Amino acid sequence: MVKSNYPSIDVAPRVLLGPGPSLVDPRVLKAMATPLIGHLDPQFLDLMNKMQEMLRRVMQTDNQLTFAVAGTGSASMEASFANMLEPDDSILICINGYFGHRMVDMAERYGAKIHTISRPWGQVFTAEEVESALKANPAKVVAIVHAETSTGAMQPLDEIAKVVHAHDAYLIVDAVTSLGGVPVRVDEVGIDVCYSGAQKALSCPPGISPITFSDRAVEHIKSRKTKVANWYLDATMLGNYWGSERSYHHTAPISMNYALYETLRVILEEGLEARWQRHRETAALLWDGLEALDMSLHVEADYRLPTLTTVRIPSSIDEAVIRQALLHDYNIEIGGGLGELKGRVWRIGLMGYGSRKENVVLLLAAIERLMK
């Protein structure tokens, strides 16, 4: 046997308090070590059925077409646009952060006619703004971010959904940083397509992403005049794989499905209401602590996301130096700003397993020490 010239994996453990990935529950890591079986093995198919049941409960929906995309949150984002848009379809995209711009990029690639409305990064939209935009430019689809990871703003959706449906349009919602940390209420709100990612408040490793389509959205997809332009993410084919037919489509990432299955078990054992309350309480502790350090929060309180906080950086400090010191001296990761907020804010994630009071106390003490 020849000795390898490459070292074994030996990474320093980090306290992941950035915008993602988040800390993973040890139970989920243990589940990933479960021996592999075939992706059409009856045991795995049974696990898929149970995982769909749990996903519906966590996403607060009865949608039949609810499953996990084999890919990160960007894959489920693309699945939403690929399935709901045909060339020359009109779409209204609401941009108040980095991921609204990503929606525009994806919609362009599917040949859609794009209209946008914008708000400053960190603010949210009103139903009246969406109403005015749809009157000016009728659209088949409206896309909006529920929890904007770049700003920490949480978008109210109830009244906007009513406006969208009054205009006979379909509502796509990005819940990547909200699902598992705050209520999403897919059915109650009236969301037609809702997607998320595993590595945020679900506290699962990146690589698998929940998505759900309403019955209304499924009928829309079935009535398309053209094939879905993305073969891998075609919901009709994926629906046949995840449905009772179990038609072969792709080789599922078995270990990632184990991980998502276990993380959903963890969430439901804690209870959705209890989990949401924990995220609110931990975030409030962080917000109070940051303000006690004379740091201001970027998003006003009514629209602040408990899972992701943006805090403005005092002009007297070099934000990158502090972030690097947190990483190298304390093994704590937080995120810098994206896009318009680059160099202006830190992004602090308290998501899922990482939303714990001891993490907040550790982070605040380290920031205070470094700032001094």
What is the mean predicted confidence (pLDDT) over 310-330? 94
Checking if the pLDDT of 326 tops 90, the result is yes
Asked whether 124 and 145 are in contact (CB, 8 A), the reply is: no
Asked whether 195 and 76 are in contact (CB, 8 A), the reply is: yes
In 3D, which of 80, 102, 98 has the Cα closest to residue 308?
98
CATH of 26-268, one of 3.40.640.10, 3.90.550.10, 3.90.25.10, 2.120.10.70: 3.40.640.10
Cα-only R_g, the chain = 21
Asked whether 251 and 41 are in contact (CB, 8 A), the reply is: no
Task: Quick: pLDDT tens for 109-132.
Answer: 999 999 999 999 999 999 999 999
- What lies within 8 Å, CB to CB, of 275 at 6+ separation is 180, 181, 267
pLDDT value of residue 247: 87
Burial class (CB within 10 angstroms; exposed 0-12, middle 13-18, buried 19+) of 198:
buried
Task: Quick: pLDDT tens for 235-278.
Answer: 999 999 998 888 889 999 999 999 999 999 999 999 999 999 99
pLDDT value of residue 211: 98
Q: In the 8-state DSSP scheme, what is residue 35?
A: P
pLDDT value of residue 335: 98
pLDDT, greater one: 73 or 245: 73
What is the mean predicted confidence (pLDDT) over 293-303? 97
**Which tokens go with 108?**
């362009």
CA 104/CA 113 separation, integer angstroms: 10
What is the mean predicted confidence (pLDDT) over 196-223? 98
Checking if the pLDDT of 366 tops 90, the result is yes
What is the mean predicted confidence (pLDDT) over 351-356? 98
CATH superfamily of 15-21+272-371: Aspartate Aminotransferase, domain 1 (3.90.1150.10)
Other beta carbons within 10 Å of 308: 30
Checking if the pLDDT of 230 tops 90, the result is yes
Q: Where are the domains of the chain?
A: 15-21+272-371, 26-268
Task: Quick: pLDDT tens for 31-56.
Answer: 999 999 999 999 999 999 999 999 99
Other beta carbons within 10 Å of 372: 5
End-to-end CA distance of the chain: 54
pLDDT value of residue 4: 86
pLDDT value of residue 328: 96
Sign of the CA dihedral 237, 241, 247, 249?
positive
pLDDT value of residue 12: 87
pTM confidence score: 0.96
pLDDT value of residue 244: 86
Strands (E), the chain: 15-16, 65-69, 90-95, 113-118, 141-145, 147-148, 153-154, 170-174, 193-195, 209-213, 308-312, 332-333, 335-336, 345-349
Q: What is the mean pLDDT of the chain?
A: 97
pLDDT value of residue 245: 85
CA 215/CA 236 separation, integer angstroms: 13
pLDDT value of residue 3: 84
In 3D, which of 302, 72, 74, 62 has the Cα closest to residue 174?
74
Peptide bond into 21 cis (omega under 30): yes
What is the mean predicted confidence (pLDDT) over 95-107? 97
CA 178/CA 356 separation, integer angstroms: 17
Per-residue H/E/C for 338-367: CHHHCCCEEEEECCHHHCCHHHHHHHHHHH
Asked whether 370 and 314 are in contact (CB, 8 A), the reply is: no
